[in-house]
Amino acid sequence: MNNLQSLSYYWPEIILTVTILVAIIADLFYSDKDSGKTALWVLGGLILAQIAIYIQDSEIVTTLFMGNLAFDPFASFFKTLIVLATILVIFISQKSSELDGHRTGEYYSLMAIMVFGMFLMASAIDLIMLYLAIEIVSIVSFILAGYLKGDLRSNEAALKYVIYGAFSTGIMLFGMSIIFGLAGSTKFFAIQEAMWNLEGSAQFAFTLAAIFILAGFGYKISAVPFHFWTPDVYEGAPTPITAYLSVAPKAVGFAVIIRFFNTVFGDSGAFIDPSIYTFTTIAWPQLLAVLSVITMTLGNLVALQQNSIKRMLAYSSIAHAGYMLMAIPTLSSQGVYAIMLYLVMYLFMNLGAFFVVIYVKSQGGGESFDDFKGLGWKMPIVGIVMTVFMLSLTGIPPTAGFIGKFYIFASVIKVGPQMYWLAVVGAINSVISLYYYFRVVKVMFLEGEPSETIIVPSPTVLMILFALAIPTVFFGIYWAPIADWVSRSLTLFIKVI
Amino acid sequence: MDNLNTYLFIAAILFSLGMFGVITRRNAIAVLMGIELILNSANLNFLAFAKFGGMNMSGHIFALFVIIMAAAEAAVALAIIINIYNNFKSINVDEVRELRQ
Amino acid sequence: MADLAFWMIVLLTIGGAAVVVLNKNLVYSAIALLFTFFGMAGLYVFLWADFLAGVQVMIYVGGILVLIIFGVMLTNRITSVNISHSSVQRGIGAVVVLGILSILVIMIYNTPWLQVEAVEPVQTVGKIGYLLMMDYLLPFEVASLLLLAALMGAAMLSRKSN
């Protein structure tokens, strides 16, 4: 579709762009104290954008802007997920004590720009567009990670993030240049076509390019060995941003991996026939399987040794990326389905866990396990809700985390005996994670002195807590609405070769 | 001299040198310079493929965007470094090593 | 003559890059980077990318390099802004990098790259302009948003008061 025609399919992004500009200009009129009101503009814009996404969520599947973007339910799914995560994080940010005394107008405007970048990532089908989208998300993440200007930890987190981010995108770029040399085009579908007609001697170059590109994508979802930045950035960044980074960019990172690998090295995600993948000697499914095993094992083992809950959650989010990666080598629509379902469940439980950490800190507590001693007695509601999130992150029924994990393992086992080893490794890892998630529960309820006074959170905090905890439990019992939504969204733009 | 492989070799050497800089240096700015070398090597690849692929202008566009991104990234990186510098003046130098592996 | 110029430029580029990563003194590294960037612009001219050669000189030399030199000057005053990143020994690094380089060389030799015989030079400025307004209009517009984000962020971070 040409540029002008595309505009009528581009309402959510147009609304978002206007929101960004309005938020930036509105912020100029606020005093330092009122600067946080920018959040209202951003919230309003996001809700309007979400309505626009909902309205256009139709059967039409096409490409926009001269083949730069795909317009498909798959992209709409991730856009909705991003908007949901952003709205929740904006509410969470209001309750964060770390941001007190900072002018927060830019914080929210930058968040809106990041949403725009993630929208593009979810739908890009051109290497240039994809690169640009990844860079927008990265650059805004760098700034947000260093938002606490007076805090050296935040500064160093941002510096480290910039260095690792630029390094991995540099490597990714080199990989993209190799692909450009082989295919002579930057469009996914043209590359796919070239891939089919390649001589055998070009396979090596293609494999190398895939590995280089994986460095860039792996960095976004913090898969080992591209995870080095994760613990320090997660610890140093303002906690609401940590929560955001662990959910939204990770989700679109998976969207990019699914779209890119299935399009360029597969049959565009049509999943008609898995044997189609054997046409290439590129062992990318095996590569991703190994990556997934290393990622979850390392994430879990290091999480065991942490004394800070924030840092423990950082490593556990690496482990969760590993679980989700497990489903990609299945090369089936069930695998993609499972990942999408898991991302929805993961959104609630992970944001929830981070919100509890933020709330405890804002009540004069800290982020280490010691600070959580006796919390269950001092703040019973928070303690119980945190227990729910921990159960869900471990994957114990009847919580959302269990359903997510169940679908992931089911999709892996369904492939056949050659994948059983992967499921076994995943199961062992879940058991390891049981230890450190339950350590939080143990510390909260079994250690420390029972306190005399009981602190009941304010109504707004309770609202956010329940907005995150109720879905975590509810979707563990009745997940049909999510399952429906995911299966409706399982349509990628396909150009059948 | 005027064939594709010459340019690709130059790019490969630049890429390796950049990589060497990134993995052996500890200073943030030295690492940043290594990254610039990697970006330049990718750009050289793009332009070489563009020329020998029959003046395929997509490569030029890609290189153009890479340069834009590199500038934006360098600006943000420098802002962060200046910020650290500002904090250094008021805060004890020993505290900078707060984050550890 | 053109041959000689070409190899001189190659020498300048790679020699500069080698100094950048091997020299311990950051100021020398930054100056060497200048030569590399100019060398790259020269190579772009040989690749008939006249517009990009200009952009390279303007943005890399005029913008990024100046930023880097600023950074060098500031961090020299505070002795070190090391990122706590586990840097490896030079010996090990050299082995790793030589490994990568040899893999890349093998790849370059063995790959049937997409090549067209007898290419004629074209005016690149007009074509780039056309593509930016047609095929790549959206990336072009989006780039402005990215620059806005970078501008806001850089101003916000380097501003002294909150």
For every residue of chain B, DSSP letters joined together read --SHHHHHHHHHHHHHHHHHHHHH--BHHHHHHHHHHHHHHHHHHHHHHHHHTTS-HHHHHHHHHHHHHHHHHHHHHHHHHHHHHHHHHHS-GGGGGG---
Please determine, for residue C119, whether its predicted confidence score (pLDDT) is greater than 80: no
Say how far residue A479 (Cα) sits from the centre of its chain: 20
Contacts of C75 in chain B (CB under 8 A): 27-29, 81, 85
Q: Which of A114, A147, A177, A182 to mutate to test the interface with B (most CBs of B within 10 A)?
A: A177
Please determine, for residue B101, whether its predicted confidence score (pLDDT) is greater than 80: no
Calculate how close chain A gets to B60, using CA atoms only, in Å: 11
Chain A, window 112-131: residues with a beta carbon less than 8 angstroms from a chain B beta carbon: 127-128, 131
Instruction: Write down the pLDDT at residue B89.
Output: 61
Percent of chain B at pLDDT above 70? Answer: 85
Q: State the count of interchain CB pairs (< 8 A) between B and C.
A: 247
The Cα C21–Cα B24 span in angstroms is 9
The Cα A308–Cα C144 span in angstroms is 40
Q: Beta-carbon neighbour count of residue B52 at 10 Å? A: 24
Chains that touch C (3 or more CB pairs under 8 A): A, B
Contacts of C115 in chain A (CB under 8 A): none
Could you tell me if A66 lies within 8 Å of chain B, comparing CB atoms?
no
The Cα C53–Cα C33 span in angstroms is 16
Of C18, C46, C83, the CB nearest to B31: C83
The Cα B36–Cα C15 span in angstroms is 15
Asked, for residue C7, whether it belongs to a domain, the answer is: yes
Q: Classify residue A451 by its DSSP letter.
A: P
**Residue entry with tokens 């990666």:** A325
Measured between CA atoms, the residue of chain A closest to residue B89 is A150
Could you tell me if A18 lies within 8 Å of chain C, comparing CB atoms?
no
Q: Which of A376, A156, A124 is nearest to A263 (CA)?
A: A124
Phi, psi dihedral angles at B26 (to 5 degrees):
-105, -25
CB of C71 closer than 8 Å to CB of B78: yes
The Cα A154–Cα A272 span in angstroms is 47
Distance of CA C138 to CAs A188, A263, A352, A387, A454, Å? 16, 21, 36, 46, 55
The Cα A198–Cα A169 span in angstroms is 26
Cβ of C98 and B16 within 8 Å?
Answer: yes
Measured between CA atoms, the residue of chain A closest to residue C146 is A136
Same domain for C11 and C66, yes or no, is yes
**Residue entry with tokens 């919230």:** A43
Contacts of B29 in chain C (CB under 8 A): 26, 68, 71-72, 75, 81
Q: Which helix (H) or strand (E) holds A473?
A: helix A459-477
What would the DSSP string read from start to end of A180-245? HHHHS--BHHHHHHHHHT--GGGHHHHHHHHHHHHHHHHHHTT-TTS-THHHHHHHHS-HHHHHHH
By the 10 Å C-beta count (0-12 exposed, 13-18 middle, 19+ buried), C57 is classed as middle
- Two tokens, residue A460: 């707004």
CB of C16 closer than 8 Å to CB of C34: yes
Asked, for residue C46, whether it belongs to a domain, the answer is: yes
Asked, for residue C38, whether it belongs to a domain, the answer is: yes
Q: Beta-carbon neighbour count of residue A28 at 10 Å? A: 9
Q: Which helix (H) or strand (E) holds A120?
A: helix A105-123
Domain CATH code at residue C71: 1.20.120.1200
A220 CB-near residues (< 8 Å, 6+ apart): A134, A137, A249, A250, A252, A253, A256
Instruction: Write down the pLDDT at residue A249.
Output: 94
- Two tokens, residue A287: 């590569």
A231 CB-near residues (< 8 Å, 6+ apart): A302, A311, A314, A315, B101
Same domain for C2 and C72, yes or no, is yes
Within 13 Å of residue A431, how many CA atoms lie on the same side as its CB?
Answer: 5
Could you tell me if B35 lies within 8 Å of chain C, comparing CB atoms?
no
Of residues C115 and A493, which shows the higher confidence score?
C115
Cβ of B62 and A167 within 8 Å?
Answer: no
- Two tokens, residue A63: 């490409």
* Domains recognised in chain B with CATH numbers: 4-92 (1.10.287.3510)
The Cα C70–Cα C29 span in angstroms is 13
CB of B74 closer than 8 Å to CB of C70: no
Q: What is the pTM of this model?
A: 0.93
Measured between CA atoms, the residue of chain C closest to residue B37 is C17
Instruction: Write down the pLDDT at residue C90.
Output: 83
Cβ of A131 and B53 within 8 Å?
Answer: no
Structurally, chain C folds into a number of domains equal to 2
Of C81, C103, C114, the CB nearest to A181: C114
C159 CB-near residues (< 8 Å, 6+ apart): none
Phi, psi dihedral angles at B100 (to 5 degrees):
-130, 160
Cβ of B75 and C98 within 8 Å?
Answer: no
- Structure confidence at residue C77 as a pLDDT band (50, 70, 90): low
- Structure confidence at residue C159 as a pLDDT band (50, 70, 90): confident
The Cα B76–Cα C149 span in angstroms is 10
**Helix, strand, or coil (residue A458):** coil
- Two tokens, residue C133: 């307004």
Chain A, window 121-140: residues with a beta carbon less than 8 angstroms from a chain C beta carbon: 126, 128-129, 132-133, 135-136, 139-140
Q: Residue A271: which region, alpha, beta or left (left: phi > 0; alpha: psi -120 to 50)? A: left
The Cα A485–Cα A394 span in angstroms is 24
Which residue blocks in A363-458 are alpha helix, DSSP H? 375-378, 380-394, 400-415, 420-446
B22 CB-near residues (< 8 Å, 6+ apart): A167, B31, B34, B35, B38
Contacts of C63 in chain B (CB under 8 A): 71, 74
Asked, for residue C92, whether it belongs to a domain, the answer is: no
Contacts of C156 in chain A (CB under 8 A): 106, 143
- Two tokens, residue C64: 């990024």
Work out whether the CA dihedral C44, C49, C55, C58 comes out positive or negative. Answer: positive
Percent of chain C at pLDDT above 90? Answer: 59
Cβ of A232 and C149 within 8 Å?
Answer: no
Instruction: Write down the pLDDT at residue A293.
Output: 92
Residues of chain A below pLDDT 70: 57-58, 267-283, 494-497
Cβ of C136 and A182 within 8 Å?
Answer: no
Same domain for C70 and C134, yes or no, is no
Of A132, A194, A201, the CB nearest to C139: A132
Beta bridge partners of A70: A63
Of A64, A164, A202, the CB nearest to C111: A202
Contacts of B32 in chain A (CB under 8 A): 163, 166
Q: Which of A199, A206, A215, A158 is nearest to A181 (CA)?
A: A206
Contacts of A150 in chain C (CB under 8 A): 162
Q: Structural domain boundaries of chain A?
A: 12-488
The Cα C80–Cα C131 span in angstroms is 44
The Cα A234–Cα A463 span in angstroms is 25
Rounded to 5°, angle at Cα A451 from A449 and A457: 130
Domain boundary among C54, C81, C108: C81
The Cα B66–Cα B55 span in angstroms is 18
Measured between CA atoms, the residue of chain A closest to residue B39 is A170
Instruction: Write down the pLDDT at residue B95.
Output: 41
State the ipTM, two decimals: 0.93
**Residue entry with tokens 């991730």:** A78
| Domain encompassing residue C159 | 122-162
Instruction: Write down the pLDDT at residue B76.
Output: 92
Q: Which of A419, A401, A399, A421 is nearest to A411 (CA)?
A: A419
Asked, for residue C23, whether it belongs to a domain, the answer is: yes
Could you tell me if B7 lies within 8 Å of chain C, comparing CB atoms?
yes
What are the pLDDT digits (tens) for A272-309?
555 555 445 566 778 888 889 999 999 999 999 888 89
Of A17, A106, A194, the CB nearest to C156: A106
What would the DSSP string read from start to end of C115-142? --SSPPP--HHHHHHHHHHTTTHHHHHH
Same domain for C74 and C7, yes or no, is yes
Residue type, A153: R
Contacts of C18 in chain B (CB under 8 A): 17
Calculate how close chain B gets to A128, using CA atoms only, in Å: 6
What average pLDDT does the segment B5-17 reach?
A: 95
The Cα A290–Cα A276 span in angstroms is 21
Could you tell me if B91 lies within 8 Å of chain C, comparing CB atoms?
no
Chains that touch B (3 or more CB pairs under 8 A): A, C
Asked, for residue C87, whether it belongs to a domain, the answer is: no
The Cα C133–Cα C127 span in angstroms is 10
Contacts of A127 in chain B (CB under 8 A): 62
Calculate how close chain B gets to A153, using CA atoms only, in Å: 6
Of C14, C84, C108, the CB nearest to B101: C84
Residue type, C108: I
Of A103, A182, A232, the CB nearest to C113: A182
Distance of CA A36 to CAs A17, A50, A98, A225, Å? 20, 22, 13, 38
**Residue entry with tokens 């942490």:** A306
Cβ of A128 and C139 within 8 Å?
Answer: yes
Cβ of B34 and C21 within 8 Å?
Answer: yes
Q: Which of B73, B89, B93, B94 to mutate to test the interface with A (most CBs of A within 10 A)?
A: B73
Q: Which of A102, A184, A116 is nearest to A148 (CA)?
A: A102
**Residue entry with tokens 């990714």:** A172
Same domain for C10 and C70, yes or no, is yes
